[in-house]
Amino acid sequence: MSKLRFLLIPLLVVVAAGLGLWLHAADRTAGDTWHAAGTEAPDRIDVFASVQRIDAAGREAVLRVLAVPLGRFGEDDGAAPAADLHLLNSSSLRGDHVYPAHQRISSTDLPIALSGGTVTDYPFDSYDVKIQFAAEVDGESVPVLFTLDKVDSLFGLSVRSYQVANGVGGAEVRFSRSAGVLVFAVFMMITMWGLAIAVLLGAKHLVTRRRGLIWPAFGFMAATLFALAGFRNIAPGAPPIGSLLDYTAFYWAEAVIAVSVVVAVVAGAITERASAGPR
């Protein structure tokens, strides 16, 4: 039996490590995936967009955009437009951009307004946005090939639909928490409840067995009460107080621990007083 147990422990470690590697690979693959919409005509404007960061509390994301004119619309292998280039975008992005003729194009950071979802649903919150680009060169409407990827590791990206019509390239996108964030947030919930139950059982043992004032045990309970607050503050993405994480685990764990400490101390004091007898 001991030999079987000796073999079971490393096997469980290998399985856990393998599961972690699989989750990491899936999360990384999702992050490296890019999405394209539009036309691949030789004379076109390529628009490369990368999601740099997502501010769920501010309901805003930052999109880094680089326009590359190809064919007769570009010069120096797309480094500069042959004529004035107007890059038009959807209403969720703030402001169109003009690139003067024969001048090198540099990337631009554009804020995007997020819709739907609320940050207090953390870690199960998600947000929608419609991203569209059209282009005009010297007043002429030209086809666009839109390519989208992301850098922010705290969110995953999924395309709900592609927008390809009349030279426009775009997509309806949904941002949701990445697998790594979900795994860690669920782990935090389980840990909070586990610590709360551990303190509750310890307090029950002290009270039912009339152990009196056992200060090392009370120190552990009180330390757990304050440690949970620090543990909660390391939640990835810094969710605000009042999120789903708090209502399902943190508030309850703090309440259980606080009540357990108070009851155990009061019961211990009563026991100590009774055992001391009248003076």
Residue 68: strand pairing partners: 46
Higher pLDDT, 179 or 21: 179
Q: What is the pLDDT of residue 255?
A: 97
Q: What is the pLDDT of residue 32?
A: 60
CB 243 within 8 A of CB 121: yes
Alpha carbon distance 42, 249 (integer Å): 56
- Amino acid identity of residue 200, one-letter, is L
pTM of the model: 0.81
* Crossing angle between the packed helical segments 179-208 and 215-233, to the nearest 10 degrees: 160
Alpha carbon distance 16, 36 (integer Å): 36
Q: What is the pLDDT of residue 204?
A: 93
pLDDT at 91 over 90: no
pLDDT in tens, 12-65: 777 777 776 766 666 666 556 678 888 888 889 999 999 999 999 889 999 999
pLDDT at 1 over 70: no
Higher pLDDT, 110 or 253: 253
Query: Is 78 in a helix, a strand, or coil?
Result: coil
pLDDT at 134 over 60: yes
DSSP secondary structure letter of residue 199: H
pLDDT at 158 over 90: no
Q: What is the pLDDT of residue 30?
A: 59
Buried b (16+ CB within 10 A) or exposed e, 95-134: eeeebeeeeebeeeebebbbeebebbebbebbbebbbbbb
| DSSP structure string for 22-57 | HHHHHHHHHHH--EEEE---SS-EEEEEEEEEEETT
**Pairing relationship of beta strands 45-55 and 144-150 according to DSSP bridges:** parallel
- From the options 1.20.120, 3.40.50, 2.60.40, 1.10.260, give the CATH code of 30-177: 2.60.40
- Amino acid identity of residue 254, one-letter, is E
Higher pLDDT, 154 or 193: 193
Higher pLDDT, 198 or 19: 198
Query: Is 237 in a helix, a strand, or coil?
Result: coil
Least Cα distance to 82 among 134, 133, 45 occurs for 45
Q: What is the pLDDT of residue 124?
A: 94
Domain ranges of the chain: 30-177, 181-276
Q: What are phi and psi of 20, to 5 degrees?
A: -65, -40
Rounded to 5°, angle at Cα 119 from 113 and 124: 115
pLDDT band at 209 (very low <50, low <70, confident <90, very high): confident
